[in-house]
Amino acid sequence: MNVMNSGRSFSKLTRLGDLIDFRNDIVHPKDNPKGEAIFVGLEHVERNTGIRIGAEKVDLTELTGRRARFFAGDIVYGYLRPYLNKVWTAEFDGICSVDQYVFITRENVDRNYIAHFFRSEQFLKTAPVDSTPGQLPRIRSGEIADTPIALPPLNEQRRIAAILDKADALRRKRKHALDLLDNLIQSIFLEMFGSPESNPKGWKQGRISDLLEDTQYGTSEKAGEKGDYPILRMGNLTADGRMNFESLKYIDLDDKDLEKYTVRRGDILFNRTNSADLVGKTAVFDRDERFAFAGYLVRARVKKGVSPYYVASYLNSRHGKATLRGMAKSIVGMANINAKEMQSIPILIPDAKIQRAYSDALASIEALRAVSKRHMRLLDSSFSSLQSRAFSGQL
DNA sequence: AGAACGAAATCGTCCGCGCC
DNA sequence: GGCGCGGACGATTTCGTTCT
């Protein structure tokens, strides 16, 4: 049977269950396991990329619940909420949650090929997800085993997996480059202004209020899917001090409220209510379109000659974050910093000239970053097109 | 209008129960 | 009696409403 009618086609479709085995090696607390193990749970695997973002050393004698054992080279697949796409190839031996299946590939089956298949849209589309009440969708082992998969000869599998690996590696490299640019920005800040604690350059000391002309809370109107203006909410401020414009909602505004509840280029946005870690996220709005902003954000406009980027970078710096954390008032699991408190934060006031130089430096790095970002998006889209061709015999 | 607070949504761990 | 299934529960994050 041919899978595709164009390009190279595979000779047959197989059951996924014929290519892999479930390891099913459970650690039971009641068996009194001894020693230590590395735990890699769902929380330690990044969604979509499958990159391991952590691990935990655990004492097996203190284990209270069941765990699954995995060994280096196994495919560890999070079958709870499969749309999160958490597929990790183990780099070492350890244990994971029982909401992860551990797979071993059989003879003549390339494990990278299988791992890529688990990650592919084809798999997510074909494997039926059971809808247990309570928002806990899972793909069951039987469904996984019955999923059809095209299986070319081993060398073909390797070739396809290698192409996908290469494309994936490019994405990671690009991501790394982006991280380096972020570090660069922080170094430039320190280089130009010196550490805020020791003030080696002897700048004038002041408070944030000295630099601001005006602060304003956003609208508390409820936002919806439709409306005249897109509205910026907490999620549109990233933890590293940027804006993103994803998952926007919309709102209608009276003309008289336009000035009050919308931002313009160069405004600072400050997140006054969030969890203790995220409260105080700050970013500069740098577009020309009109956006409204929500009530848990504070809009701050700087005085003439002040760089909003300097202020935002200061609040986002390690020192700034520590200050914010110290002053946040925590209630019911969330922290607050109101506009007055934010303005009372001490800050150094460097010359306008050097603030401008900082803005300029930042702008040129951001330009580089934008190029990198665009490149990243291209890589992403070519990766997913490669992926879909890979499993339909077109690679 | 601004601040406080409650609720909802999301994610993931852990555990008990009943079935094969 | 082990394991799959289903869900209780806690932590985190976001959003909406109520109070002052």
Instruction: Quickly give A297 CA vs C19 C1' distance in Å.
Output: 20
Q: How many CA atoms within 13 Å lie on the side-chain side of A4? A: 16
Instruction: Evaluate if the CB of A52 falls below 7 Å from strand B.
Output: no
- pLDDT for A129 equals 67
**What amino acid occupies position A348?**
L
What is the tens place of the pLDDT at every residue in A170-210?
Answer: 988 888 888 888 889 889 999 999 988 889 999 999 998 89
pLDDT number for residue A7? 41
Contact A208, A327 (CB under 8 A): no
The distance (Å) linking the CA of A214 with the C1' of B15 is 54
Per-residue pLDDT at A3: 41
Q: Which parts of chain A register pLDDT below 50?
A: 1-8
Q: Is-contact A274 A296, C-beta < 8 A? A: yes
Distance in angstroms (rounded) separating the CA atoms of residues A96 and A89: 12
Query: Under CATH, to which class is A12-151 assigned?
Result: alpha beta
The pLDDT value given to residue A134:
58
Q: Residues A344, A207: contact at Cβ < 8 Å?
A: yes
Contact A223, A233 (CB under 8 A): yes
Determine whether the distance from the CB of A233 to the nearest atom of strand C is below 7 Å: yes
pLDDT at A265: 92
Return the CATH architecture of domain A204-349: Alpha-Beta Complex (3.90)
How much is the pLDDT for A6?
40
Residue with structure tokens 């079958």? A79
Q: How far apart are CA A343 and CA A337, in angstroms?
A: 10
CB-proximal positions of chain C, under 7 Å: 2-9, 12-18
Count CB-CB contacts under 10 A for residue A206: 12
pLDDT of residue A68: 92
Q: Is A293's CB less than 7 Å from nucleic acid strand C?
A: no
Per-residue pLDDT, A130 = 65
Q: Rounded mean pLDDT of chain A?
A: 86
Predicted TM-score of the model (pTM): 0.75
